[in-house]
Structure 1
Amino acid sequence: MNLSSLSFFRSLRTGNKQFAVVGLGRFGRAVCASLHNLGYEVLGVDSDERRVAQILTDQLVSHAVQLDSTQPAALKEAGLFEFDTVIVAIGNYVEESVITTMNLKEAGVAHVVAKASSEIHDKLLRKVGADHVIFPEHEMGCSLARSLTKPNILERFELDPDHSIVEAVVPAEFDGKTIAELELRSRYGLNLLAVSRGDKFEINPYPVMRLQKGSVMVVIGSNRCIDRLPTA
């Protein structure tokens, strides 16, 4: 997640209890199931009657309809334009995905999240007004690569393409040393924001605090500097 993503999610209404998901493939079904299990009302939409029937049978949505989402009249009749947030989970059919997104935005849907399958797809979705575009496969691939090469980094919040805040396991090299002794800012170009103490975090810890191997620290800095941290 980066700052542009954060601004989008901040714009969502906290009281919104209804979502619509267009496209009931694996990704769309997962979104429906997660939202439904969290207690939200979910409308599932797909052009494939079998997918609509299956998701109703599996009880992963509140309602589901079969329709052609490239047709504005069909979307209007099904009430899609009345939703505050619609997820366009059509990834493999670019034309259908883009037209659906355009139809929703032109009708005034406030928040449209769309799944992209390529950079060109991403650009097209943004041009027709998608508020937030995601690359599930790309994001999972990047996350896996980071996990394999930097297993000590547990979470990453991207501030921009070059800077992040990360939650990382304190490496053995830091064990028993105080924050002052580590000189994270001068040696690594990083600022320490918090250190775990049992189940809680101590924010802005004192320089005399000693770090323990296996505990968790939160640091901010450039990705280049973060990559220089010793592995756990």
Structure 2
Amino acid sequence: MNLSSLNFFSTLLGNNRQFAVIGLGRFGRAVCQTLHNLGYEVLGIDNNQRLVDQALHDGVVAHALQLDSTEPSALEEASIADFDTVIVAIGNYIQESIITTLNLKEAKVPHVVAKASSEIHGKLLERVGADLVVFPEREMGCQLARALTKPRILDRFELDPDNSIVEVVVPERFDNKTLADLDLRRNYGISVLAIGADQKFQINPQPQQKLVKGQIMVVIGSNRDIDRLPV
């Protein structure tokens, strides 16, 4: 699972330096790997010793423990309250996920992120105190659908459910026209943040800037307006 293009990591506190991930399945390992690659120290936790050993062997975590996260005393022994953010990646085991999240909040963990497998699961996690509930399968499904229907959109950063910043290939209709000619804000409701070519970006391009078919535009706007851009 590739999490690099999800907005999951943008929701984590930017000045955190220590993370714990409970549940070392595919989602949990992907979180550990990405945080590790970003230079953060990660503690991996699972009740399956094989998954713990595998995470250590593969180097996706700095430390790993085998314990039952539904037991408050086990979390206390692991000094879980010392971590800024704990990600509950159990997901498919709803009871264990909810109890673990409750235990973490009762242990005064500042920021608890929990994976949900359904809307009801998500609501229950919020009820027991999860600071953020994520639906990775749903987000990946939405991303896939957009990639299939909007192939010119190369990457997307969701600011919220309704607005995004996206990288989009300049369409043929915009070729050899200036930003002033196109007046994208009036005609499409979007603003151009940058124009890229040859792996270099020009930030805040001037109205006289000409676009060339195949270049990259970085634009900001509502998802509805972005989807109106020509293919």
Same fold (TM over 0.5): yes
Describe how 1:179-194 pairs up with structure 2 within 5 A. Answer: 179-194=179-194
Describe how 1:137-216 pairs up with structure 2 within 5 A. Answer: 137-216=137-216
Pair 1:221–1:63, CA change in 2 (3 A): closer
1:227 positional shift: 1.1
Pair 1:45–1:159, CA change in 2 (3 A): closer
1:143 positional shift: 0.7
1:136 maps to what in 2? 136
Q: Which stretches in structure 1 are left out of the alignment for 5+ residues?
A: none
Question: Take 2:152 and 2:32, find their aligned partners in 1: how far apart are those partners?
Answer: 32
1:82 aligns with 2:82: yes
1:230 maps to what in 2? 230
The residue type paired with residue 81 of structure 1 is: A
Question: Take 1:104 and 1:63, find their aligned partners in 2: how far apart are those partners?
Answer: 19
Question: Take 2:154 and 2:76, find their aligned partners in 1: how far apart are those partners?
Answer: 43
Pair 1:165–1:33, CA change in 2 (3 A): closer
Structure 1, 213-222 or 70-79: larger mean CA deviation = 213-222
1:197 positional shift: 4.6
Question: Take 1:210 and 1:62, find their aligned partners in 2: how far apart are those partners?
Answer: 49
The residue type paired with residue 229 of structure 1 is: L
Pair 1:84–1:168, CA change in 2 (3 A): same
1:45 maps to what in 2? 45
Structure 1, 194-203 or 215-224: larger mean CA deviation = 194-203
Identity of aligned residues (%): 66
Question: Take 1:73 and 1:121, find their aligned partners in 2: how far apart are those partners?
Answer: 25
1:103 positional shift: 0.9
Q: Counterpart of 1:126 in 2: which secondary structure?
A: helix
Taking structure 2 as the reference length, the TM-score comes to: 0.87
Question: Take 2:220 and 2:50, find their aligned partners in 1: how far apart are those partners?
Answer: 48
Structure 1, 28-37 or 135-144: larger mean CA deviation = 28-37
Aligned length: 226
> Could you say what the CA RMSD is over the residues aligned between the two structures, in angstroms?
2.2
Describe how 1:35-114 pairs up with structure 2 within 5 A. Answer: 35-114=35-114
Q: 1:13 aligns with which of 15, 32, 40?
A: 15
The residue type paired with residue 115 of structure 1 is: K
8 Å CA contact 1:12–1:111 kept in 2: the answer is: no
1:92 positional shift: 0.4
Question: Take 2:37 and 2:178, find their aligned partners in 1: how far apart are those partners?
Answer: 44
Question: Take 2:44 and 2:173, find their aligned partners in 1: how far apart are those partners?
Answer: 51
Pair 1:50–1:214, CA change in 2 (3 A): same
Question: Take 2:160 and 2:61, find their aligned partners in 1: how far apart are those partners?
Answer: 35
Question: Take 1:163 and 1:180, find their aligned partners in 2: how far apart are those partners?
Answer: 23
